[in-house]
Amino acid sequence: MTAADYETQIKQLIGGDHLDEAISLLEILESVLLDSKEEQLREVKMLKAERLFEKRKYRESMDLFTEVSAPPERVIRLFPKVIAGDLSICDTAASDSTDSGGVADGSDAGSRAGSPECEACSTGAEPITPKKSGTPPPLNWKPPTPIPKKLNRANPETSSIRNISLTKKVGDASSIFSFGGGKSHVDDDAASIAVKHTETIPDGPPVLEGPELEKAADQLSAHLNDTRQALSKYFHSDGTLRGDPANIISNASSTSSTNRDPFEASFLAAGKPLDKSSEAYAERTEKLLTAARLIDTTLFKIYIITRPGLVGPFVRIQKHGDPEVFSEKLRELGKFTELIDFLYQRELHREALELLLQFGKGPEDERAPSLCGPRRTIAYLQSLKANHIDLILEFSQWPLEADPSFGMEIFTADSENAESLPRSKVVEYLQSRSTSFAIQYLEHVIHELGDQTPEFHTRLIWLYLSTLKQMPDSAHHSEKLLTFLTASKQYRSEKVLGWLPREDPAFYEARAIVLRNMGQHKAALEIYVFKLHDHVKAEEYPPSPSSPPLPVLTNNRYCKRTHLTSPTTPTIYHTLLTLYLRPPPPHTPHLAPALTLLSRHGARLEASETLALIPEETTMASLEPYFQSRIRTANSKASAERLTAMLRKSYLVDVQDRLLKEQGVAVVVGEERSCGVCHKRLGASVLWRLAR
């Protein structure tokens, strides 16, 4: 009748399945009386939760698992393989129970004791993955987190909880409860009582199927969602770790064992400081990622069974699910749209694009009608960032062939992703596919995005010229070329001039525009006057289209435009007049356009130089508009100068009047006068008076 120590009492209560009494005793006792009280209490509660699960009290079981923050694999292993996969111990335990006829007698004690699944189920020890001959473990499987075994630190003469639990189940009379340090033994009657008590509890997890499985899985999903929420503080929104979990663990969990969060406590060595080594850091991060992967994958399997409508939304928000499991299940269910979302979310872009290619180019599939055609592929490519440029170029080929106008939206859409693509690489690729694709992209980049890169401007001109050489009669491309040559100032003029044929009349005007941009006005005007024989264009610049791609001056006269843009070059009109009246051989003078030029812009020319160019046989009557223009300009200038002089005199009188008024103001400062701000006497101080 020797009194047993508390550790032994707790072991015996657990061994007899008196879990509520064990929990009550642990909660009453002080921490100093037990070794690792919190861990023991947590372990007993998890054992109780397993017993509740065996009794099909799923909600109470999951609530208790949630309360103690049980490791996810500890809970998931209670379910069949359709949910738990290789972690499941249900099928093996059930088959063992069936083979033994549901009676735990001594005849099958050896087989039961040797079964790792039965042992794990009955004692709550770490789950052991069932071994299957010829079937390798899945690639994503990792050994589950071991369950603390602090309960075994009691009197070394007493047996462990695991041994006691097994003794209870197999009825081994030789391994019995011990009191007083294990010196006395229980007789056969006591052993039979223990067997009878065991028979009242279902042996191992129930075989779940049909509505019963849905009921249990629904409670499991609630528990896993709570655990998932607890894990969220360790991850960024994109699923990446925030850093070392040790830096995120709450202060209470890392300093006081009584206030530890049970899940956080699993990272801590009992009674020791948190290990900051690289090996410990790698272990902590791997543990977190493994738990997150297991939770997301299990929730996905649960939703397939219980709530198929949540599969799509969950696929889009989860961050750590096993890609192999998700891909296999979604293919089996024919949920290819959700599969595309999952592959995109996990950045498995090549697999997603290959699947879109399969559905897009193939016949319409009733399982995924939205994936047929190029539109879904185009939308997917538009969502990729610039670092996936190789994939974008590779898989944009067939959408461009199927629907060129819509396919170009991959590169020309009004989106940040499209604008951030490496433009040189895109131009090279599109030019290799089609000249029209490259032209369309460069026009978008230059006109809409305002790119001023000289290489792009020069490349666009070269593409225009290539198209014109293939289609000489294309007025549309010819107009585009002339407009762009006029508006752009970024292209390489020397290089473009070398591309333009000298003696081809179709490119005379283009050469004139390029020469003008190079500052060679005389050569440009010679083309208008002597090759194009167009005196209007010699004075007027080619008219711009209704919607110019780049801003141009409203006044399109060649010489006037040049004069306005280059005011330091006032001789542009004199150059044109010289070409009219003193042309190089073998050209003859053009008096009529020269007189028209004088009547419009003669005032801008030096009179002496102009009159020296006019032929002697020219009549005064023909020069009358020129003289009128000169006189009118001189009178206008004189009138403006007189008006300016009168305004200045009026302003001077006004200023003098204000000065006299200000000088006539007097202020008397007496001996008692003080400052209104500092209240000091003014006396003989120097004063400033501000005039209003």
Residue 156 — pLDDT band, cuts 50, 70, 90? very low
Whether 360 and 381 have beta carbons less than 8 Å apart is answered as: no
Residue 97 — pLDDT band, cuts 50, 70, 90? very low
The C-alpha angle with vertex 458 and arms to 456 and 464, in degrees rounded to 5, equals: 100
Cα(353)–Cα(577) distance, integer angstroms: 66
What's the mean pLDDT in 184-190?
36
Structure tokens at 406: 């819509």
CA–centroid distance for 90 within its chain? 42
Residue 496 — pLDDT band, cuts 50, 70, 90? very high
Residue 566 — pLDDT band, cuts 50, 70, 90? low
Segments of 163-227 assigned E as strands = none
pLDDT > 90 fraction of the chain, expressed in percent and rounded: 29
Predicted pLDDT at 691: 58
What's the mean pLDDT in 239-255?
70
Whether 129 and 91 have beta carbons less than 8 Å apart is answered as: no
Q: One-letter amino acid identity for 461?
A: I
pLDDT in tens, 255-282: 554 445 555 655 554 344 566 778 878 8
Residues in the chain: 692
Q: Is 234 helix (H, G, I), strand (E, B) or coil?
A: helix
Structure tokens at 115: 């079964």
Cα(357)–Cα(340) distance, integer angstroms: 12
Write the CB contacts of 680 (distance below 8 Å, at least 6 apart in sequence). 674
Residue 637 — pLDDT band, cuts 50, 70, 90? confident
The label of the residue with tokens 């293939």 reads 470
Predicted pLDDT at 160: 35
Predicted pLDDT at 41: 86
> What is the DSSP-derived secondary structure letter of residue 235?
B
Write the CB contacts of 567 (distance below 8 Å, at least 6 apart in sequence). none
**Start-to-end CA span in the chain (Å):** 112
Cα(538)–Cα(534) distance, integer angstroms: 6
What's the mean pLDDT in 179-192?
34
Residue 549 — pLDDT band, cuts 50, 70, 90? very low
> What is the DSSP-derived secondary structure letter of residue 681?
B
Residue 627 pLDDT exceeds 60:
yes
What's the mean pLDDT in 524-550?
65
Residue 692 — pLDDT band, cuts 50, 70, 90? low
Residue 519 — pLDDT band, cuts 50, 70, 90? confident
What's the mean pLDDT in 641-647?
94
Cα(172)–Cα(104) distance, integer angstroms: 10
pTM of the predicted model, to two decimals?
0.64
Residue 299 — pLDDT band, cuts 50, 70, 90? very high
The label of the residue with tokens 């503080």 reads 233
Whether 300 and 325 have beta carbons less than 8 Å apart is answered as: yes
Predicted pLDDT at 562: 56
> What is the DSSP-derived secondary structure letter of residue 88?
-
Cα(562)–Cα(583) distance, integer angstroms: 21
**HSE-CB for 408 with a 13 A CA cutoff:** 19
Cα(116)–Cα(100) distance, integer angstroms: 16
Predicted pLDDT at 494: 92
Residue 22 — pLDDT band, cuts 50, 70, 90? confident
pLDDT in tens, 649-686: 999 999 999 999 888 887 777 777 788 788 887 776 66
What's the mean pLDDT in 305-333?
90
Cα(609)–Cα(99) distance, integer angstroms: 123
Residue 253 — pLDDT band, cuts 50, 70, 90? low
The CA–CA distances, whole Å, from 622 to 583, 609, 633, 659 equal 20, 18, 19, 58
What's the mean pLDDT in 239-258?
67
Predicted pLDDT at 540: 67
Alpha-carbon radius of gyration of the chain: 47
Residue 90 — pLDDT band, cuts 50, 70, 90? confident
Instruction: Parse the chain into domains and list their residue ranges.
Output: 1-208
Indicate the range of 186-200, 588-602, 607-621 predicted with least confidence: 186-200
List residues bridging with 674 in a β-sheet.
Answer: 681
Highest-confidence range of 194-203, 384-393, 595-604, by mean pLDDT?
384-393
Cα(424)–Cα(397) distance, integer angstroms: 17
Predicted pLDDT at 301: 93
Residue 143 pLDDT exceeds 90:
no
pLDDT in tens, 465-484: 999 988 887 888 888 999 99
Residue 297 or residue 559, greater confidence: 297
What's the mean pLDDT in 364-372?
82
Residue 238 or residue 428, greater confidence: 428
List residues bridging with 545 in a β-sheet.
Answer: none
Whether 107 and 299 have beta carbons less than 8 Å apart is answered as: no
Q: One-letter amino acid identity for 437?
A: F
Q: Is 674 helix (H, G, I), strand (E, B) or coil?
A: strand
Predicted pLDDT at 266: 59
The label of the residue with tokens 């639990």 reads 165
Q: What is the mean pLDDT of the chain?
A: 75
pLDDT in tens, 372-391: 889 999 999 999 999 999 99
Predicted pLDDT at 1: 52
Predicted pLDDT at 220: 93
What's the mean pLDDT in 321-332?
90
Residue 204 or residue 51, greater confidence: 51
List residues bridging with 434 in a β-sheet.
Answer: none
Indicate the range of 107-111, 438-442, 531-535, 647-651 predicted with least confidence: 107-111
Cα(447)–Cα(550) distance, integer angstroms: 7
Whether 22 and 13 have beta carbons less than 8 Å apart is answered as: yes
